[in-house]
Chain A
Amino acid sequence: MEILHYDFMIRAFISGIFIAILASSLGMFVVVRRYSMLSDTLAHISLLGVAFGFLFSISTTWSALFTAVIISWFIEYLRRNYDIYSDSLLAIFLTGSLSLAIIIISLSHSFNASLFNYLFGSIIAVNNKDIYIISSFGILSLILIANFYQKLLFVAFDEDVAFTTGVNTSSLNYMLVSLVAITIGLSIKIVGALLIGALMIIPVISAIQYGKSFFKTAMLAILFSIGSVILGLIVSFYISIPSGATIVIMALLIFMFSLFAKKSRFL
């Protein structure tokens, strides 16, 4: 295949598949908790981190990741300790971080084009260093998800009951938002801040249409997510369109098919 003759495409496939697995695995817990807006909010917070990176001339990958993790802890702290609706809290942080990012951008003048790449993603921007970071964090995150799978599921299903059986719900919630923040911080360079939320949510919603157990739904969501990335990269390569947006469109097509199949009782 011609597409595999290019090193940058091989890097795109490797990093894209890692992100697909991570995003959909974490997306399962985020979606069933009706916390879907978390991914979009953290994506915009990562953008603020990127702006900090440009402003202070430090690595944008690390600044995005660091900012997303720290603010995700703050959001979780507010959610647990104050009577504020979760979706309102996320909306406050989404708009607040975006506003701050825009102010930093307007004060600096010099990096609008670079920032554009972080909004919509740029697959050719992925280098070997990114692959190492994504794969090492990815493997660590997957080990954590596998290790705490039953407890994360219990907290998602009924947090109060999980607490009464001795599950440390507070630590698990902080761990979940941290993993989501890390995944988003690592992904915005490839998929883009405006699109990573879709990759985390759409494959999960598509998989839920098939009415399987939680484990089988998670496996289906991972499959749909990987499929969206592979198809999206191939299509974007051959007809020269933005990769991040194409990946999301592929995920949407799978969702439309799943919804149609359910409605038509094909499933």
Chain B
Amino acid sequence: MSVKLIDDVIEIKNLNYKTYIENISFNIKRGDYIAIIGPNGGGKSTLIRLILGLITPTSGEVKLFSSDRTSFKNNSKIGYVPQGVTKNDSSFPITVYEVIKLGFAHKSSLFSSIGKEDREYIGFIMDKVGITDLKNRLISQLSGGQRQRVMIARALISKPDILILDEPNTGVDTNSQKIFYDFLKELNQKDNITILFATHDLEVIVDDVTSVLCINRSLLSYKNKNEVLQCSTMSDLYGIDAHVVHHRH
């Protein structure tokens, strides 16, 4: 028996949300690596929250893996790393292992705890993300970059088809950002995980991104990176005269 893979991971049609999102339509296909860019307050996080079902659109359609958002139940297909994961909460007593184990919370109860296979998978993911030595550390004792890796490990536990990250690099040093983008590239190219991340920082649009979604309430452009990084597009996006200087890190 052959299994037909659904090509469109996300389909957005005529999406509106109050005054924050105006008539946005686009599709994201399996294996894409997409950056959402736009100014602060331009609707990037709102768009992500609409995709995830955290808020309900005023009008329009959100489809995930060809199912309407409201009837979509296969939550394990989506991994989400929210904004502000690198902020330090000094009082929450939770270890790295406990955070990653939360990825199995949906199937955990008094009568069905996680099994040997799940525990081994937690070990595998911690190893893959490079945080095995942090296993018993409190999350509050970690640096921004380390916290970021823990949150990605938690998101990967459900073996998602798409990883959605909202401003993942806030509070992370430049060196950790480089490691982070190398890791995302590996997830995209080796594990074929579709990646969608939002950022207001143009510097982080790395070479590996396949397309860039430019939004400032409405969709300004959805093209490949080189077409988007033109002076005219940047001027439309940020509302000022823009001069784009390309350089390789």
Contact = CB atoms under 8 A, between A and B. Distances in A.
Interface residues on B, range: 20 to 34
Interface residues of A, number: 28
Nearest to B154: A161
Give the residue among A154, A208, A211 with the most B Cβ atoms within 10 A: A154
Interface stretch (A51-59, A143-151, A233-241): A143-151
Nearest to A33: B92
A222 B92 CA distance: 17
Contact of B108 (A32, A143, A151, A160): A151
Given A157-B102, A162-B105, A211 B93 contact: yes
B92 A157 contact: yes
Main secondary structure of the interface of B (DSSP, over half): mixed
Contacts of B138: 211, 213
A166 B108 contact: no
A161 B101 contact: no
Contacts of A153: 94, 98, 102, 105
Interface in A119-160: 143, 146-151, 153-154, 157-158, 160
B105 A208 contact: no
Give the residue among B54, B73, B93 with the most A Cβ atoms within 10 A: B93
Contacts, number: 80
Contacts of B192: none
Main secondary structure of the interface of A (DSSP, over half): helix
Contact of B98 (A151, A160, A207, A213): A213
Contacts of A150: 101-102, 104-105, 108
Nearest to B74: A166
A214 interface: yes
Contacts of A262: none
Interface in B87-139: 91-95, 97-99, 101-106, 108-111, 136, 138
Given A157-B92, A211-B138, A215-B98, A164 B80 contact: yes
A214 B94 CA distance: 5
Interface of A: 32, 143, 146-151, 153-154, 157-158, 160-167, 207-208, 211-215, 217
